[in-house]
Amino acid sequence: MIAPVNGQIQAVLKVTNGYTVNDDFSKTPNELEISVMIEVQAMSTSDLRQVQNINQQSDMRAVYIRGGIKGLNRPLQTGGDILHFYGSDWKVVQVLEEWGMEEWTKLVVSRQITRPRS
């Protein structure tokens, strides 16, 4: 019903897929890039209440995406995924809703600051 008003857009999901150990023993993450369709919305009042404990002053959006995307969870070593849309990278910071067996997920994403190219 909402598609004519706020249709889906093309995005790239960047998923961390392990890491490479460098000669100096530092680690470089490996990323898998997947083309996906997403629906982007402003954060609703109830969304903002749900994330009120995330102490961030940033540009945030609610995103609907097909599949079971996970938010950042350091103990379980999941998440940290990035969505690229509107010309920016957006980090998945929290999952608000999941529906079905990985049918769709509602995510909170936060725009990442890009470093200027030298």
Q: Assess if residue 85 is contained within a domain.
A: yes
Q: Assess if residue 76 is contained within a domain.
A: yes
Q: What is the mean pLDDT of residues 8-33?
A: 88
Q: Assess if residue 116 is contained within a domain.
A: no
38 contacts: CB under 8 Å, gap ≥ 6 = 8, 9, 11, 63, 64, 65, 83, 85
Q: How far is CA 26 from CA 20, 21, 23, in A?
A: 8, 6, 7
Q: Structural domain tally of the chain?
A: 1
pTM exceeds 0.85? no
- Domain, as residue range, for 75: 9-111
Q: Per residue in 56-94, pLDDT tens? A: 567 889 999 988 777 767 776 666 789 999 999 999 888
Q: Assess if residue 53 is contained within a domain.
A: yes
Q: Assess if residue 91 is contained within a domain.
A: yes
Q: What is the mean pLDDT of residues 32-58?
A: 74
Which CATH number goes with the domain that contains 13?
2.40.10.270
